[in-house]
């Protein structure tokens, strides 16, 4: 007895339909995957002037620092510190304690770890 000849799989329209549907799903998910694969990137700008004072022996330094997340994922800021040195020798290290959320803010905010969204 002879067995009936079957067509190859690439001549079946159901195969091509499934392949195109799979390709459409993969292509529709590429932009989010591309954003997830972008590295974290922090852009920091420091103003050229600084204000150093002391109150009852407690040194304080005020400076303007602009922090932006230019990467593709959320970025967690856990701390900020200022290292002061004289003639190449470290004098002190001051941790960040307060900050202004926006340039127009009037009230200080206690520095706690925070997350920056992309952009």
**Percent of the chain whose pLDDT exceeds 90:** 16
Measuring CA to CA, how many Å separate 43 from each of 4, 14, 18, 46?
Answer: 68, 51, 45, 10
Domain residue extents for the chain = 42-116
Per cent of the chain over pLDDT 70 is 92
H/E stretch holding 80: none
pTM above 0.85, yes or no: no
Q: CB–CB of 69/35 below 8 Å?
A: no
pLDDT in tens, 9-34: 788 889 999 999 999 998 888 777 76
């Amino acid at each position: 007895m002879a067995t009936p000849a079957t067509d190859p799989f690439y001549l079946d329209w159901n195969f091509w339909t499934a392949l195109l549907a799979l390709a459409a799903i993969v292509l529709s998910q590429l932009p989010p995957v591309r954003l997830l694969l972008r590295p974290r990137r922090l852009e920091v700008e420091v103003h050229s002037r600084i204000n150093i004072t002391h109150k009852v022996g407690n040194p304080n330094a005020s400076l303007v620092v602009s922090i932006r997340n230019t990467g593709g994922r959320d970025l967690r800021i856990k701390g900020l510190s200022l290292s002061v040195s004289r003639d190449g020798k470290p004098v002190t290290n001051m941790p960040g304690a307060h900050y202004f959320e926006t340039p127009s803010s009037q009230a200080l905010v206690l520095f706690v770890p925070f997350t920056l969204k992309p952009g």
